[in-house]
Chain A
Amino acid sequence: MACIIQVGVGSGGMAVLDLIIRDPQVTDVTLIEPDRFEMDNVDRHLIGHSGVGRAKVELAAEWVREHRPGIRMRTVSTSLSADGCAGSIDELADSADIGICAVDNETAKYAWDELMRRHAKPWTLGEVLSGGIGGFVHWFAPGNACYGCVAGYLQRAISIDQGKAPDYSQPDGGMAETKIPASRAAISTIASLHALVTLGLLTHRTGYAPGFTSLLFSLEPVANVFPLAFKPYRFQIPRAPDCLICGTGGLHAEEDVDVAIHDALARLGQA
C-alpha cells in the first residue's frame, strides 16, 4: 500500500500519473492542480476535446477512477500558495509516502520542495526541455540536495528558448519554463522515465540507488547542446553546503523566530 501526492496534471503530469496508478502498490492518490483544461491542451494531453473547460484535477481523478476503481482519491483544485490551503495541503503531504512534481514554473517547484522537506518526504520531478529536445528526471530524498542545490548546480545552461524577459510587473505570476511546445512523444518519453524513477524510489525507499540523482536524457541532436539523440547524462548532485534554501535552519528555536524578526525589522526600519 502506498500513498502518493502529485502536483500538476498537465500534459506531463497526466502521463506520469497514468503510469504510476497502474502499479498495484499505489492505493491512495492526492492531486493538486489549479488550472482548467483548455483547447490548446488537447494536442498534448491524454484527455480529449470533451474535457475542455473543466478543471484538470477533476478530469485526472475521473481518469484514475476509470482505470483503477479501487484507488482512494483526493483532489485540491488550488495552487500550492493559495491563501487558506496551506493547512490541508500540509496534512495531505504528511500522510503521503512520496511526492511527484510535474509543474513547469520555478515558484511552484520551490514551494513543492519546501513542502516535501518540511514533511521529510522523498519526491521526484520531471522537466521537459524547451522544444522537447530532451528532459530531466530528478529524485530527492530527505537530507539530500534540495531543488535549490540542484537548480544551482545545473545552472539551467541547457536552453534554446530566446523568449522575452519575465513580466516583473507581476512578480507572483507563473513563469513558464518551457516556451517552445514539446511534442506529445517527447513529453511521454520523459514522463515514462519520471514514472520509472518514482516507482523505483517508492519500492526501494531509502535503498534506492540508480547511480544518479538527476538524469538528463537527450531526444534530439542540437548543435552545441546535445551531440547525440537518445543519450543519457547522469548527475550525482550533492547537497550544497552554502545553499541558501536548505542550509538556513537551526539558528533559532521556533518560538523565538517571530520575536527575532520583529526586533530585526524594528532595527532596520530605523536605519
Chain B
Amino acid sequence: MGLLDSEAGKRRLLSVEIPIIERYNDGRDPAYRIQVVRVGTTLVLRYRLKPVHNAYQLETRLVSSYPSVPPETRVLTPLRHCPHLLEGQTICLWRQGSTRMTSRWDPSRFTSVFAIQAAWRWLACYEVWHETGEWPLPEAK
C-alpha cells in the first residue's frame, strides 16, 4: 500500500503516523522536533537527536511502500566509518529473519517514531564505539 497514494496508506498516515509524530513533538524543544517534508511519493522526517554528548542531524525516509518496507534512516552529520553503517551513512537497524523481535521490522506494531527511537539507540552505541572501539549491543541474529 502506498502511504500517500492508497486509501489504506493515507488512513495509516492519518490515524497512526501523524498523531504519534505530533505526540513526539508536543512540548519538545523546537530544535529537536520532527519536521515532515513530502518529496514525491516519499515522506522525509528530519530531526535532531542527542543520545549522549553530541547532537546529530538525521533524516528518516518513509518510501511509497512503507510500512511494508522499513523506513530508511541516514545520519546527515559526518560520522567515522563504523560497524552497522551502510552506504550514504544509512544506519543498519533492521534485519529480516532475525530471531530478536526488535531487530525485525514489523509493520503491524512499529511506527516511524519507533524507527527514530531505534536511531537514538544506534547513535548511543556509536558514541560508545567511538570511545572504546566496541559496539555495546550484540549483532542481530
Verify B68–A106 contact, CB threshold 8 A. Answer: yes
Tell me, yes or no, whether A66 is within 8 Å of chain B by CB: no
Tell me, yes or no, whether B36 is within 8 Å of chain A by CB: yes
Tell me, yes or no, whether A211 is within 8 Å of chain B by CB: no
Bits for A158-184, please: 1 = Cβ < 8 Å to B, else 0: 010111011011011001010000000
Tell me, yes or no, whether A243 is within 8 Å of chain B by CB: yes
Known: A169-B87, A257-B7. A244 touches B18 (CB 8 A): no
How far, in Å, is B63 (CB) from chain A's closest CB? Answer: 5
Tell me, yes or no, whether B86 is within 8 Å of chain A by CB: yes
Verify B35–A110 contact, CB threshold 8 A. Answer: no
Verify B107–A245 contact, CB threshold 8 A. Answer: yes
Verify B1–A261 contact, CB threshold 8 A. Answer: no
Q: Count contacts on A: residues with CB < 8 A to the other chain.
A: 52
State which of A131-139, A212-220, A248-256 sits at the interface with chain B. A248-256
Q: List the B side residues contacting A110 at CB < 8 Å.
A: 1, 67-68, 107
Q: List the B side residues contacting A243 at CB < 8 Å.
A: 108-109
Q: Which among B6, B8, B70, B86 has the greatest number of chain A C-beta atoms within 10 A? A: B8
Q: Which among B35, B69, B90 has the greatest number of chain A C-beta atoms within 10 A? A: B69
Verify B92–A171 contact, CB threshold 8 A. Answer: no
Q: List the A side residues contacting B8 at CB < 8 Å.
A: 114, 117-118, 248
Tell me, yes or no, whether B55 is within 8 Å of chain A by CB: no
Verify A244–B7 contact, CB threshold 8 A. Answer: no
Known: A110-B68, A171-B63. A249 touches B106 (CB 8 A): no
Known: A165-B95, A257-B11, A268-B36. A171 touches B69 (CB 8 A): yes
- Bound-complex Cα distance A260 to B11 (A): 10
Verify B94–A107 contact, CB threshold 8 A. Answer: no
Bits for B12-50, please: 1 = Cβ < 8 Å to A, else 0: 111110100110010000100111111000010000000
State which of A4-12, A19-27, A42-50, A146-154 sits at the interface with chain B. A146-154
Verify A268–B18 contact, CB threshold 8 A. Answer: yes
Q: Which of B16, B38, B88, B97 contacts A169 (CB 8 A)?
A: B88
- Bound-complex Cα distance A146 to B1 (A): 14
Verify B18–A249 contact, CB threshold 8 A. Answer: no
Extra pairs beyond A155-B106, A165-B92 (5, CB < 8 Å): A168-B72, A244-B12, A252-B14, A271-B25, A271-B34
9 cross-chain pairs, A with B, having the tightest CB-CB distances, nearest first = A148-B108, A110-B68, A268-B36, A152-B108, A271-B33, A114-B1, A248-B15, A264-B18, A107-B68
